[in-house]
Amino acid sequence: MIYPTIQSERLWRSLMEMAEIGQTSGGGVCRLALTDEDLAARELFVKWCEDARLTIRVDELGNIFARRAGSDLYAPPVMTGSHLDTQPLGGRFDGVYGVLAGLEVARTLNDAKIETTHPIDVVVWTNEEGSRFPAGCMGSAVFAGQRDLDVMLNLTDADGYSVKDELKRIGFDGPEKCGNVSIKALYEAHIEQGPILENASKTIGVVMSAQGLRCFWVHVSGIEGHAGTLPMDKRRDAFQGAARMAVAIDNLANTFVPHPVITIGVVNVGPGSRSTIPGTTSFMIDCRCPDEQGLNELEDEIKIICKGIAKTRGLEINIEMISKITPITFNKDCINSIRNAAEKRKLEHQDISSGAGHDACHVSFIAPVGMIFIPCEHGISHNETEYASPSDITAGAQVLFDVVVGAAKLE
């Protein structure tokens, strides 16, 4: 059977309408988790789902599940979705694309009066971005048993408001338990958030894996001194040591195989006075790589580099691991079904590894999961200028439709 085609104009209109909620002056979106803007977005999504005759359930962490019933009441659902929250200066497509592409799957099935065996759940995960409450992929991670529910409910934002109280305030503290659901498969469509597909002129990224992460604090201590009186060869300048470590780590990132990405985005220099030689410098290393063995080797190399430089410059060093995320390999059958769907629709595609973390990565611990990427202009994301073209939006949603309906089985 040839599957019906999705309505690209309807999907684009829905995306643009949703982007009006929390719209910023620079053309982006600010819709932090569990704010009034998030509430408005959730309400609009729920309204659209009800119009499409989907049944809404909300769990105790505010995850929303909009179900299109299947013919088999006992069959596990095929899930698809993403998140509606954004970064403080986020774009119109990150997350919301996956949610509304999922809704478009249900709308298209309705139009074609097609029944599936398995139910289809369009899901909105709570607080994926982690920008207001500092735990990214909160809803999906608790759902998949990767984070603790009570710890998350008690997490507070910078103003002291807790997840629990904010869920209650916006009326999304649902009755359903979070997690413990059996799932046939989950597919998430998302913009790539990087430049690879655009540079290769491909429309569909078949996501094979998501890279793992190691994050460290490096604390370097030397000896403070007067900036005017202490000769250069008598100094134990913590910042100068840290700076050399940063350069050596950057060189490592450029030569290591498989290619990692390493970022030093936080540097604290103490005491922080122009006329005092820095006695302490702490910096944070964010190191990501698609393979666990690679991450282990990078961790060892980074430690050797930093300790070696500290030693030659007479500095003390302490390296503290902050977080560790294992690389994810997505389900082979899900990967194949995405690739086959792209082939059948004659869409240019390539295999790709996800540089960012996504809700689907967490769900992959408890269910077969696949991800579909589409290009975003200049690889820009988490930015007001984030853009994906209507034709790529359509292509990704069509592949999503084909794989979700394939998994949910036609009657």
Residues that bind Zn ion (CB under 5 A): 94-95
Judged by beta carbon, residue 245 or residue 400, the one nearer Zn ion is 400
Distance of alpha carbon 30 from the chain centroid? 16
What is the phi-psi region of residue 331: left when phi exceeds 0, alpha when psi lies from -120 to 50, beta otherwise?
Answer: beta
Closest distance between Zn ion and the C-beta of residue 371, in Å?
11
Judged by beta carbon, residue 283 or residue 373, the one nearer Zn ion is 373
Contact between residue 93 and residue 38 where contact means Cβ atoms under 8 Å apart: no
Judged by beta carbon, residue 82 or residue 116, the one nearer Zn ion is 82
Closest distance between Zn ion and the C-beta of residue 37, in Å?
16
Cβ neighbours of 73 (radius 10 Å): 7
Cβ neighbours of 367 (radius 10 Å): 20
Closest CA to 298 of 353, 265, 252, 350: 252
Closest distance between Zn ion and the C-beta of residue 83, in Å?
6
Residues 286, 335, 396: CA angle, nearest 5 degrees:
85
**CB-based contacts of 304: which residues, under 8 Å, 6+ apart?**
none
Closest distance between Zn ion and the C-beta of residue 351, in Å?
20
What 3-state DSSP class applies to 393? helix
Judged by beta carbon, residue 87 or residue 240, the one nearer Zn ion is 87
**CB-based contacts of 203: which residues, under 8 Å, 6+ apart?**
197, 342, 347, 348, 349, 374, 375, 391, 392, 395, 396
Closest distance between Zn ion and the C-beta of residue 190, in Å?
6
Tokens 């794989």 found at:
403
Judged by beta carbon, residue 94 or residue 402, the one nearer Zn ion is 94
Closest distance between Zn ion and the C-beta of residue 373, in Å?
11
CA 119 – CA 122 distance, rounded (Å): 10
CA 42 – CA 56 distance, rounded (Å): 11
Closest distance between Zn ion and the C-beta of residue 341, in Å?
21
Closest distance between Zn ion and the C-beta of residue 388, in Å?
12
Find the largest Cα–Cα distance for the chain. Answer: 84
**Residue nearest Zn ion, Cβ-based:** 95
The 8 Å CB, 24+ separation contacts for 68-72 are 68/106, 68/109, 68/110, 68/116, 68/119, 68/120, 68/121, 68/122, 69/119, 70/115, 70/116, 70/117, 70/118, 70/119, 70/120, 70/408, 71/115, 71/116, 71/117, 71/411, 72/117, 72/118
Torsions phi, psi for 210 (to 5 deg): -130, 135
Judged by beta carbon, residue 97 or residue 216, the one nearer Zn ion is 97
Judged by beta carbon, residue 127 or residue 337, the one nearer Zn ion is 127
Please return the burial class of 284, using the count of CB atoms within 10 Å of its CB with bins 0-12, 13-18 and 19+: middle
Closest CA to 295 of 215, 208, 210, 214: 214
Closest distance between Zn ion and the C-beta of residue 49, in Å?
20
Closest distance between Zn ion and the C-beta of residue 140, in Å?
11
